[in-house]
Amino acid sequence: MDDYDASNVEELKDKVKVLEERNVKLMAELQSAETDKRHSEAELFRVQKDLARLRNEMERIKAPPLIVATLRDILPDNRVVVKSSTGPDFVVTVSEYCPPEDLILGSRVALNKQTLSLMNVLPSSVDPVVSGAEIMEKPDITYDDIGGLKAQMLELREAVEDPLLRPELYEKVGIEPPKGVLLVGPPGTGKTLMAKAVAKAT
């Protein structure tokens, strides 16, 4: 009887050992599965984020193009008068997404192509020709730096400086001051120097 009990105990010990090994193996598999689950959840979150971004991009691409117009007048009842880039003037409604304080006469605006509603105010356009000709710093050239062009400098000063510095002379005589001056001549004859001298003086 003792031999039978001893063999049962040994058999039970072997079974417990097998179960413990199986338990350790299952715990390792569970830990690995939990790690895989965390990785999968992180990957799912990333994919969902990319999907939302792509959907937004697709909606943006599918949106109809906007018409560029100029704001001419602001009317009551959330309406404005605009001159479209195609020519005619329109009375249109202002979108609720466009803040009223952004509406400034003469500003460029974007209109919905289908409803012609004013969607938003665009930044002012910059002509590349004008921006290329802009002088960012005041020149340091003076009239004394230019030699041999006394008559031309006098004419230039009368045409450019006098309307800016002494407009009362033109009002007194009753004539309109010139709106611009064109300097012509071959390269190297002082046109740029004269323009810089006028810019410094005014």
DSSP-assigned letters across all residues of 123-171: PPP--HHHHHH--SS-----GGG--S-HHHHHHHIIIIIHHHH-HHHHH
Integer angstrom CA distances of residue 72 from 37, 80, 110, 125, 169: 60, 8, 13, 16, 34
* Distance spanning both ends of the chain, measured CA to CA: 124
Instruction: Express as a percent the part of the chain with pLDDT over 70.
Output: 90
The reported pLDDT for the residue numbered 134 is 60
Percent helix, strand and coil across the chain, each to the nearest 5: 55, 15, 30
Stated length of the chain: 202
What's this model's pTM, rounded to 2 decimal places?
A: 0.39
Compare 35 and 190 and report the one with higher pLDDT: 35
State yes or no: pLDDT of 5 exceeds 70. Answer: no
Asked whether 193 and 141 are in contact (CB, 8 A), the reply is yes
Q: What is the DSSP letter of 125?
A: P
Which range among 21-30, 59-68, 75-84 shows the weakest confidence by mean pLDDT?
Answer: 59-68
Q: What gap in Å lies between CA 135 and CA 200, rounded to an integer?
A: 11
DSSP 94: B
The helix/strand/coil state of 191 is: helix
Q: What is the DSSP string of 47-61?
A: HHHHHHHHHHHHHHH
Q: What are phi and psi of 48, to 5 degrees?
A: -65, -40
Choose among 109, 117, 113: nearest CA to 83: 109
pLDDT 10s digits, 128-161: 555 555 656 677 788 788 878 888 888 888 888 8
